[in-house]
Amino acid sequence: MGAELVTAPRSTAPSGGEPALVLEGVSKRYGSTVAVESVDLTAAPGELVTLVGPSGCGKSTTLRLVAGLERPDEGVVRIAGEVVADARRFQEPEQRRVGLVFQDHALFPHLTVAQNVAFGLHRMPRTERQARVGEVLELVRLGHLAGRYPHELSGGEQQRVALARALAPRPAVVLMDEPFSSLDESLRAQVRADTVAVLRETGTTGMLVTHDQTEALSVGDRVIVMNRGNVEQADGPEHVFEHPASRFVASFMGDADFLPAHVHDALLTCEIGVVSTIPGWAHCDVDVDVVLRPHEVALTVDPASTAHVVAVEYHGAFVLHMVRLASGRTLRSWQPHAVRHPVGTAVAVTVVPGITPTLLVGDRAVTSPPCATDSGPTRVG
C-alpha cells in the first residue's frame, strides 16, 4: 500500500468553522428504484473526500444532488452553511457555489482554453476576470496554452483545464466524477497527484467520485464507501481498510476472505487454529466470521497439513497463493515475489503475528463484545 500517499487530515484546514458541505437524510428515488437512501455526510472546509462504491451504488447520484442536477426527494443539502435543497427550497445549479469536473472533461469545443476558464466569471469586471483566468491557468501550469482550443490539447492537459475552469469562480466545493478514468494508465497517477496538489494548495474542499478503491484510499482525507444507495462507512482511509464496518466494505476495499470462527474466553479460533486473543471478550462464547486479508495470511510448507495450494498467480512484487482448506474453503495469501509454492504443496496456514482481525456478526463488524449484556447471538458451548 502506498504509505507515502496516505496523509493525515491536514492541519491547515480551518477547524471549528461551518462544514463546507452537509447532507442530512438525503434520499432520491427514480420510480420504484431507490438511488440514494437517507444519506448523511459532511465535508470540512479544505477536506478532500472520496466517494467510492460499485457502479449503481448511488455515488454519482449523490454528487448530482449536491450539484443541483437532481432534486432530492427527502433531506437537506447545505453548502457553506447555506441550505440549497430541502423540502421547500431548491437552488438551481447555476446559483450553487459548486465546481464540476467530469470524466469526459466537457470542455466547450468552440471556446479557447482561456474562454473556457472565463466562462464562469462572466459577472466579474473584465480586468479582474483576465487576472483570475491567468491565475488559475498558472496554478495548473497551462498559462502558455491559453489561446489553444480543447481539441489541440492532450488528455491530461484537458483534465487540468477542466479543473482550472471549475476552480476559477472560487466554488465552496469542487465535485469530481471519475475525473481520471478517461486517462491512460501511465498518465493517471501523475495527473491525480497534480490535481490533489492544486486542491491542497488552494485549500479547496473536494468531493471525488470513483469506483477505484486504490484511488479512493490514496487520495481521500476521508473515504465514504457506498453500496445500494447507503453509506456503509465514512472514515479515514487507514480505518476503512483496517477496520471495515461491514462485510461489503471489507470485500470491496481490498481483497478479503471470510472464515467462520468462534470466540470463547477471549480466544478467537477458526479452521486454521487460534487466530488471536481478543482482550475484553473474556466472558464471551459467540460465533463470528473473521476477515482475513491476503497480506495477513502466512504459509509454511508442512507435509502433514490438510491445506494445500490450488493456484498461484504471479503479480510481480507479490505472488498470490490460493489455498484450499480441509473444509473446502479457500484463503488467499500474498507471498514475497521470490516465494512460489507449486500447486499441490501442503501448507500450514497461520495469521501474521500482531494482527487484530475484523470480526463480523451477520454482515456488520463488531468491535465491542456482543455478549457483554447477554443479548447478543450467544451460544452455550
Partner 1 sequence: MLVIAVLVATPVVAVVLSGAAGVGEASLPRGLGSMVLTTLGLMLGVGVGTLLVGGGLAWLVTAYSFPMRDVLVWLLVLPLAMPAYILGFVFLSTFDVSGPVQGALRSVFGAGVWVPEVRSLPGAIIVMSLTLYPYVYLLARNALVEQAPGTYDAARTLGAGRWRALWRVLLPLARPSLAAGLSLVMMETLTDFATVQYFNVETVSVGVYLVWKGSFEFHTATQLSVLVLLFAVAVLAGERLMRGRARFHQKGGRGQGLQGARLTGWKGWGATALAIAALAAGFVVPVTQLLWWAVGDVVSDPSTLWDARFVDYLTNSLVVATVTALACVLLAVVIGHTLRLGGGRLVRGAAQMTTFGYAVPGAVVGIGVLIAFARLDELLESLGVPGGTGLLVTGSVMGILYSYVVRFLAPAYQAVDASFAKIPPTMTMSAMSLGATPRRILTRVHLPLVRPGVAVALVLVAIDAVKELPIVLLLRPFGFTTVSVWVYELARENFWEKAALPALVIVAVAVVPVLVLFRQVRLVELRGKAE
Q: Which residues make up the interface to partner 1 (CB under 8 A)?
A: 67-69, 92-96, 98-100, 102-104, 106-110, 119-120, 122-123, 162, 165-166, 169, 171, 175
Closer to partner 1 by CB, 107 or 278: give it. Answer: 107
Give 100 or 319: the residue with its C-beta nearer to partner 1.
100
| 38/202 with CB nearer partner 1 | 202
- Asked if 343 contacts 311 with a C-beta cutoff of 8 angstroms, the reply is yes
Closest CA to 44 of 23, 16, 72, 65: 16
- Residue 356 beta carbon to partner 1: minimum distance, rounded to whole angstroms: 44
Helix axes 155-167, 185-202, angle to 10 degrees: 20
Measure the CA–CA gap between 16 and 51, rounded to whole angstroms. Answer: 23
Neighbouring-strand partners of residue 365: 360
Task: Round to the nearest angstrom and report the end-to-end CA distance of the chain.
Answer: 40
Our CB check for partner 1 shows the closer of 95 and 327 to be: 95
CB of 69 to partner 1, least distance (A): 6
Smallest distance, Å, CB 6 to partner 1? 30
| Closest separation in Å from C-beta 323 to partner 1 | 44
- The set of residues, in sequence order, having a beta carbon less than 8 Å from that of 31 and lying 6+ positions away, is none
Nearer to partner 1, 108 or 314 (CB): 108
Closest CB to partner 1 among 45 and 68? 68
Give start and end residues of each alpha helix (H) in 68-184. Answer: 113-118, 126-139, 155-167
Report yes or no: 78 and 84 within 8 Å, Cβ to Cβ.
yes
CB of 121 to partner 1, least distance (A): 8
Task: Let me know: does 205 contact 173? Beta carbons within 8 Å.
Answer: yes
